[in-house]
């Protein structure tokens, strides 16, 4: 007898082949199958009599087979299965194309249920290729009622998925309901087993609504519980308070070659106040692309370094070597008139810059590791090498992570654990250029305080964004050629690495071949994608940074970070294939220098929604506004990519349901206040301990 943890192959009719197909949908166990939720429903809840059928509408018909036969179509050379169905009012002709096997399962006298579109031909009313099922003791599950539709993979049908789930739906009763009874009573939420049964096989629209409410609450409540526990841990943890050296910090800010925006000043002030506290700062610094987050981080790290007597150090970790080097070079310029030693620590490069002597010295890993441990370096900038190498700090007091969601939880913990002081925990600042609307940030990162930089520097030229149709492609190539003749460079972004005839989507390799051989044969063009080795990617990017390459054809790998002032063109193929938030990130790769920049959105799509999204990007340069629109259209998983570390896979929760978010927050606060160790809620405690590996929805 199969249990929740049994392999999916323990279910009848699931062999090795089907099991492998289901694995592509992350379905490995019976519980995984139950947690594979419908994304929509077809409403066949009303059975229509044959004499009441209306042409060009969907309908559910129940009747008896009077006649069924296979025959050949003389014109189209295809097999036709034709049946005559009757109820107590009229006859209906039903046709299936190229499915001769149907006649083996349906016989005259069988009572069947049909669901599909009602059409007409020269012989009268007809249903072409409807869903069907014989009516047996269980009743229909594919053609009557509210019929669930699931995300599928090649070789698995909706009918098959419903059949498999129907076989194991009773196992939902075995799922442990970890949600406290008083929470369910307060908010009138279903038991988890009822919610699972109703989400898959609802009898009414209200069943769907109630099931979704319970499952959405599960997701939001667990996020809030984790946040409350993190806050408790933070309050019981000691950090080294870093006094705010106002005079020295003001002198540094006044020496900058630009004026800080109001948002930069406010964010820096919030961080400096947090650093003074004896509990660790946990803050998220959100800033639109090009808004100047790095200088805010530099101000915080400067204040830490200026507290000489504390021997306090800071570390800034970036997701790539190129981005780490960029931060290092940028902060090196900012610190050029200070006495703060700056280190770069990556897999391939290690440097220490002393601004007093203006000497930058190349170090071995062993030598720089010793220098950091001896407090000969105040600020260290690096990649994941900071956690992978045998590196220790004298007194790591501030950890800054750029694009936090690109690192695993363990990597972040490892860096914090290298502090060198067992009695204190470093302050923590996370930076992201992904414009996360406040509602989403509160739900996903609700254990963090949030600072937002929306203003762009006043000297920044707006990027001209244009929609380009196929008819204007050649004219656009002429424009790009002229820009490159003027000394500029261009990015070309494609959705795929290899060609895909099935999707008709342009790939990096295809576009690279066309541009380098046919369109711009005299220009230096390179391609960049995720299958290249790290060193190859770095070398390609460095050649582009050094203006040795005119055009870089890339996948979305260039979405985060590199600052190339000379690049003035961002050309995006099949732009409708990307979300608004991601397109805005691409656009932010240009417009960093003194030259006018352009974002060219190529599309062949005629889809109204796609063109509306692209039109929004043409009109708006506000990343937060665009992310909000994208979130409403596609949900957080699509917008931010649930594959990115740090973003939970919210399958049901609507992040615009502010009432449910508030209810989840209130209930989590109440439970933690009454029982911070969750001693009276062992099932909840167990669920939370498994949160990073479990599905958020069930037990």
pLDDT exceeds cutoff 50 at 19: yes
Please check whether residues 567 and 479 belong to one and the same domain.
yes
Residue 256 has a pLDDT of: 93
Residue 200 lies in a domain: no
Percent of the chain with pLDDT over 90: 59
Instruction: Mark which of 425, 453, 481 sits at the end of a domain.
Output: 453
Higher pLDDT pick, 465 / 562: 465
Residue 126 lies in a domain: yes
pLDDT in tens, 120-138: 988 889 999 999 988 875 6
Q: Burial-class residue 69 by CB neighbours within 10 Å (0-12, 13-18, 19+).
A: exposed
Residue 643 has a pLDDT of: 41
pLDDT exceeds cutoff 90 at 178: yes
Residue 54 lies in a domain: yes
Using only the alpha carbons of the chain, give its radius of gyration.
Answer: 30
Phi, psi of 525 (to 5 degrees): -125, 135
If you search the block for the tokens 């930069």, which residue do you land on?
264
Average pLDDT over all residues of the chain: 88
- HEC letters along 339-390: CCCEEEECCCCEEEEECCCCEEEECCHHHHHHHHHCCCCCEEEECCHHHHCC
Q: Model confidence at 406, in pLDDT bands (50, 70, 90)?
A: low
Please check whether residues 11 and 96 belong to one and the same domain.
no
Residue 697 has a pLDDT of: 55
Residue 533 has a pLDDT of: 85
Give 427's Cβ-side CA count (13 Å radius).
Answer: 28
Residue 644 has a pLDDT of: 46
Instruction: Mark which of 620, 643, 678 sits at the end of a domain.
Output: 620
Residue 444 has a pLDDT of: 67
Strand runs labelled E in 226-346: 282-287, 313-317, 342-345
pLDDT exceeds cutoff 60 at 354: yes
Residue 503 has a pLDDT of: 44
pLDDT exceeds cutoff 80 at 405: no
Residue 211 lies in a domain: no
Please check whether residues 443 and 516 belong to one and the same domain.
no
pLDDT exceeds cutoff 60 at 191: yes
Q: What is the CATH number of the domain that holds 91?
A: 2.40.50.140
Residue 581 has a pLDDT of: 81
Reading the block at residue 163, the tokens are 């059949």
Residue 202 lies in a domain: no
Give the pTM.
0.75
Q: What's the first-to-final CA gap in the chain, in angstroms?
A: 20
SS3 478: helix
pLDDT exceeds cutoff 70 at 411: no
Please check whether residues 365 and 298 belong to one and the same domain.
yes
Please check whether residues 509 and 532 belong to one and the same domain.
yes
Please check whether residues 482 and 532 belong to one and the same domain.
yes
Q: What is the CATH number of the domain that holds 588?
A: 3.40.50.300
Residue 663 lies in a domain: no
Please check whether residues 543 and 395 belong to one and the same domain.
no
Higher pLDDT pick, 258 / 563: 258
Higher pLDDT pick, 169 / 1: 169
What's the mean pLDDT in 477-484? 96
Residue 504 has a pLDDT of: 46
Please check whether residues 399 and 260 belong to one and the same domain.
yes
pLDDT in tens, 370-382: 999 999 999 999 9
Please check whether residues 399 and 547 belong to one and the same domain.
no
pLDDT in tens, 221-240: 998 998 888 888 888 889 99
pLDDT exceeds cutoff 90 at 415: no
pLDDT exceeds cutoff 80 at 696: no
Please check whether residues 449 and 579 belong to one and the same domain.
no
pLDDT in tens, 496-517: 766 554 444 568 899 999 999 9
Q: Model confidence at 638, in pLDDT bands (50, 70, 90)?
A: low
Instruction: Mark which of 575, 605, 620 sits at the end of a domain.
Output: 620
pLDDT in tens, 525-560: 999 987 888 788 888 988 999 999 999 999 887 756
- If you ran DSSP here, which 8-state letter would residue 27 be given? -
Residue 25 lies in a domain: yes
pLDDT in tens, 34-89: 999 999 898 877 889 999 999 999 999 999 999 999 988 776 678 899 999 999 89
- If you ran DSSP here, which 8-state letter would residue 239 be given? -
Instruction: Answer yes or no: are the C-beta atoms of 576 and 585 closer than 8 Å.
Output: no
Number of domains the chain contains: 4
Please check whether residues 360 and 483 belong to one and the same domain.
no
Q: Burial-class residue 342 by CB neighbours within 10 Å (0-12, 13-18, 19+).
A: buried
Please check whether residues 428 and 295 belong to one and the same domain.
yes
Reading the block at residue 668, the tokens are 């989590």
Residue 361 has a pLDDT of: 94
Residue 679 lies in a domain: no
Percent of the chain with pLDDT over 70: 91
Reading the block at residue 578, the tokens are 């990307």
Which of 130-144, 253-267, 639-653 is predicted least confidently?
639-653
Residue 433 has a pLDDT of: 81
pLDDT exceeds cutoff 90 at 281: yes
Which of 15-29, 96-110, 376-390, 414-428 is predicted least confidently?
414-428
List the domain range (segments joined by +) for residue 12: 1-39+157-174
Residue 645 has a pLDDT of: 45
């Amino acid at each position: 007898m199969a249990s929740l943890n049994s392999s999916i192959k323990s279910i009848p009719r699931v062999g090795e082949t089907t099991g492998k197909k289901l694995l592509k949908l992350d379905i490995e166990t019976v519980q995984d199958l139950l947690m594979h939720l419908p994304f929509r429903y077809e409403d066949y809840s009303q059975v229509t009599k044959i004499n009441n059928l209306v042409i060009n509408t969907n309908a559910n018909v129940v009747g008896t087979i009077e006649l069924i036969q296979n025959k050949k179509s003389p014109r189209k050379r295809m097999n036709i299965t034709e049946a005559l169905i009757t109820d107590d009012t009229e006859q209906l002709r039903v046709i299936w194309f190229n499915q001769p096997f149907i006649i083996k399962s349906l016989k005259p006298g069988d009572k069947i249920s049909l669901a599909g579109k009602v059409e007409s031909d020269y012989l009268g009313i007809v249903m072409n290729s409807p869903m069907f099922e014989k009516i047996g003791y269980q009743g229909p599950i594919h053609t009557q009622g509210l019929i669930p539709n699931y995300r599928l993979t090649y070789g698995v049908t909706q009918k098959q998925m419903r059949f498999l789930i129907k076989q194991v739906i009773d196992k939902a009763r075995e799922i442990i309901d970890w949600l406290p009874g008083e929470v369910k009573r307060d908010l009138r939420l279903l038991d988890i087993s009822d919610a699972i049964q109703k989400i898959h096989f609802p009898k009414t629209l209200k069943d769907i609504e109630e099931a979704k409410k319970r499952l959405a609450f599960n997701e939001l409540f667990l996020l809030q519980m984790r946040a409350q526990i993190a806050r408790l841990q933070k309050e019981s943890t000691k950090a080294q308070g870093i006094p705010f050296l106002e005079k020295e910090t003001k002198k540094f800010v006044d020496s900058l070659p630009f004026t800080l925006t109001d948002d930069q000043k406010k964010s820096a002030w919030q961080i400096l106040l947090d650093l003074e506290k004896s509990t660790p700062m946990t803050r998220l610094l959100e800033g639109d692309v090009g808004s100047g987050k790095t200088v805010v981080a530099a101000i915080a790290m400067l204040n830490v370094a200026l507290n000489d007597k504390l021997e306090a150090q800071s570390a800034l970790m970036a997701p790539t070597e190129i981005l780490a080097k960029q931060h290092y070079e940028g902060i090196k310029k900012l610190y050029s008139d200070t006495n703060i030693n700056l280190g770069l620590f990556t897999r391939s490069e290690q440097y220490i810059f002393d601004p007093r002597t203006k000497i930058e010295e190349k170090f071995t890993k062993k030598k720089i590791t010793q220098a950091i441990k001896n407090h000969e370096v105040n600020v260290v900038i690096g990649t994941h090498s900071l956690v992978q190498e045998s590196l220790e700090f004298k007194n790591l007091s501030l950890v800054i992570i750029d694009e936090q969601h690109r690192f695993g939880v363990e990597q972040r913990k490892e860096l914090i654990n290298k502090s060198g002081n067992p009695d204190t925990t470093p302050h923590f600042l996370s930076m992201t250029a992904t414009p996360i609307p406040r509602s989403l940030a509160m739900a996903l990162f609700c254990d963090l305080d949030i600072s937002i930089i929306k203003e762009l520097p006043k000297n920044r030229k707006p990027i001209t964004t244009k929609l380009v149709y196929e008819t204007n492609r050649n004219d656009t190539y002429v424009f790009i050629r002229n820009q490159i003749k003027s000394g500029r460079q261009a990015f070309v972004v494609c959705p795929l690495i290899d060609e895909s005839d099935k999707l008709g989507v342009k790939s990096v390799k295809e576009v690279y071949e066309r541009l380098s051989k046919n369109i711009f044969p005299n220009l230096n063009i390179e391609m960049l994608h995720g299958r290249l080795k790290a060193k190859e990617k770095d070398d390609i990017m460095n050649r582009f940074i050094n203006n040795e390459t005119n055009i870089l054809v890339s996948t979305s790998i260039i979405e985060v970070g590199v600052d190339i002032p000379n690049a003035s063109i961002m050309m995006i193929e099949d732009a409708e294939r990307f979300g608004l938030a991601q397109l805005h990130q691409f656009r932010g790769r240009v417009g960093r220098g003194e030259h006018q920049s352009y974002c060219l959105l190529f599309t062949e799509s005629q889809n109204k929604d796609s063109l509306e999204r692209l039109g929004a990007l043409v009109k708006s340069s506000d990343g937060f506004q665009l992310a909000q629109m994208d979130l409403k259209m596609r949900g957080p998983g699509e917008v931010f990519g649930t594959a990115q570390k740090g973003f939970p896979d919210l399958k049901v929760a609507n992040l615009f349901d502010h009432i449910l978010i508030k209810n989840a927050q209130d209930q989590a606060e109440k439970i933690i206040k009454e029982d911070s160790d969750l001693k009276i809620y062992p099932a909840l405690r167990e669920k939370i301990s498994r949160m990073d590996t479990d599905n958020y929805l069930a037990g």
